Chain A
Amino acid sequence: MSIPTRIEPTSRRRLVRDRVVRLGVIMVTLLTVTPIILIIVKLIVRGYRQLNISFFTEISPDTFQAMMAVSNGDMIPGGILNGITGTLLMTLIASAIAIPVGITSGVYLYDKHSTRYAAMVRNITEIMQGVPSIILGIIGYLWIVKNVTNGFSALAGSVALAIMMVPLITKSTEETMKMIPESLREAAFALGVPYHRVILKVLLPTGLSGLMTGILLSFSRIVGETAPLLMTALGSQLVNLNIEKPTSAVPLLVWEFYNDPNMVDLIWSSSLFLMIFVLFINLLSRRIAARGSN
């Protein structure tokens, strides 16, 4: 066996290869952010003109109004108020259902992490995250539309969205609880604090920013969901706050605008609005998470 007596100076070939690989990595990384940048630019360019006061205060136009405006070369009248109110109504009801359920089961999974029941629930939760959202729409249809409200309704849409939200909140709650030092739990138990008060008074307040982050992220996930609403809330031309009646939502309106050749411009502005809204919630949740980690 020969023993090298000195280290050879790095060859030119190796330097070149190093540069090529580095450049390649940068290019591929750029590829992942290019589509999102292109989408945002496109949405702003095509959508900003429709974003005026009436966009937020008026309901969506009918085909005839839109056709007249387009043929006269005017801006399409009306707005998406019915979608905004519907989206807020359904996401808030979904949150009211999903937050208590998700947080309770998340705390349970953390606390009884090694039991067989917890393992089963955890697996099902993970599977639920992967269920195609259209199937949740079908479930909402079967449970609520057919049996509770006897017709398409905001409640059915809310339930479908809540089913989507629960596993996300469960998971993030469990992860948040895991981050809380064991010593804090012990400190509370050592003071004779009963189990339920340890959870309510120590663990949940300590993990508050993590919980908020999880809730907001799951909220931003459901805000843009269309498929579960198609078979449950259906859509409506009017502002509707009755949970037993069909209701519109911003993503449902995007879908309707897409199906109407006269309303193309509204697709862009509604999508832009949805994008900004979701982006805002995401930034908010990051801020809360950053504050919590300090």
Chain B
Amino acid sequence: MIQQQDNIPLLDIKDLSIAYGEGPPAVKNVSAAVNREAITAIMGPSGCGKSTLLRAVNRLHELYPNVSVNGSIMLNGTNIFEIEAIDLRRRVGMVFQRPNPFPTLSIYDNVLAGYKLNGIGLKRDEKDHIVESSLSSVYMWEEVKDSLHRRGTFLSGGQQQRLCIARAIAFNPEVLLLDEPTSALDPVATSKVEDLLVELKKEYSLLLVTHNMGQAARISDYSMFMYMGELVEYDITTKMFTKPSDKRTEAYLTGKFG
């Protein structure tokens, strides 16, 4: 099993169940501890609850009506369900399936959106510094430094997605959630984003939902396999892909379903 690097794990998920309305739970009794400065992939077939699990970490699932949650998630020792959702979300970055830069904002303001939309005032040089360092982290600074004040929507899909990653890390989040971040991108853009994620894990902790097994194998350090809302297996990625301990994991990895 997985060795903890610290005494307190980054994320400690305990006995978490999430249900929408009266239906069967989308996530069933999941317990897992997520490591720092690593990429942890959550994979599984459609509808297995992987997105729901991810969205519970920043409580974005609460946007849907009639959601019930049991269990707890500790983020660096604080129970996320005991603090304000707004405060939690400022500690957690998120990147979505489709690039979603704010169409009314410039590239510059998109990077600063977390500050700007929250009404947090910054000095001019602080802003410049955050924009330059965030865009440099996603290898976009050279590409866009001369068009910072143009709208973010003229960028290509891959650039838009990297801009969204820059927006998420501009807040220096404790954990970065990625919900199938490459599913809307072409192969070239996908490989650029994957390389970027591998670089980012030196500074950030990434939790990545993917339905692409290849992606999980290529870039993740740890993998969770979810099926029908349950966490079937959670292990070091290389181990899971070579010697899965559960039959369902093996069936999924060998393409018997999914």
**B167→A206 contact, CB < 8 A:** no
> CA–CA, A265 to B87, complex, Å?
69
Q: In the complex, which range does the number of interface residues on chain A fall in? A: 20 to 34
Q: Within residues 100 to 147 of chain A, which ones have a CB less than 8 A from any CB in chain B?
A: 114
Asked whether any CB of chain A lies closer than 8 Å to the CB of B94, the reply is yes
Please give the distance in Å from A206's CB to the nearest CB on chain B.
6
CB within 8 A of B58: which of A188, A190, A208? Answer: A190
**B96→A192 contact, CB < 8 A:** no
**Which residues in B have their C-beta under 8 angstroms from that of A205?**
104
**Which residues in B have their C-beta under 8 angstroms from that of A188?**
102, 113, 117
CB within 8 A of A187: which of B85, B104, B119, B164? Answer: B164
Q: In the complex, which range does the number of interface residues on chain B fall in? A: 20 to 34
> CA–CA, A183 to B63, complex, Å?
12
Asked whether any CB of chain A lies closer than 8 Å to the CB of B98, the reply is yes
**B117→A191 contact, CB < 8 A:** yes
**A192→B89 contact, CB < 8 A:** yes
**A187→B60 contact, CB < 8 A:** no
Please give the distance in Å from B112's CB to the nearest CB on chain A.
10
CB within 8 A of B63: which of A114, A186, A201, A202? Answer: A186
Given A189-B89, A191-B113, A192-B114, A184-B167 contact (CB < 8 Å) = no
Please give the distance in Å from B84's CB to the nearest CB on chain A.
9
> CA–CA, A22 to B124, complex, Å?
66
**Which residues in B have their C-beta under 8 angstroms from that of A42?**
none
> CA–CA, A191 to B100, complex, Å?
12
**B117→A206 contact, CB < 8 A:** no
Interface string of B45-88 (1 = CB under 8 A from A): 00000000000001010010100000000000000000001111
**B118→A191 contact, CB < 8 A:** yes
Given A114-B65, A186-B60, A186-B63, A192-B118 contact (CB < 8 Å) = yes
Asked whether any CB of chain A lies closer than 8 Å to the CB of B201, the reply is no
Asked whether any CB of chain B lies closer than 8 Å to the CB of A197, the reply is yes
Given A114-B65, A193-B118, A197-B119, A187-B89 contact (CB < 8 Å) = no
> CA–CA, A115 to B91, complex, Å?
31
> CA–CA, A114 to B86, complex, Å?
24
Q: Within residues 204 to 228 of chain B, which ones have a CB less than 8 A from any CB in chain A?
A: none
Asked whether any CB of chain A lies closer than 8 Å to the CB of B103, the reply is yes
> CA–CA, A131 to B96, complex, Å?
45
Please give the distance in Å from B65's CB to the nearest CB on chain A.
7
**B60→A189 contact, CB < 8 A:** yes
> CA–CA, A205 to B117, complex, Å?
12
**Which residues in A have their C-beta under 8 angstroms from that of B94?**
187, 190
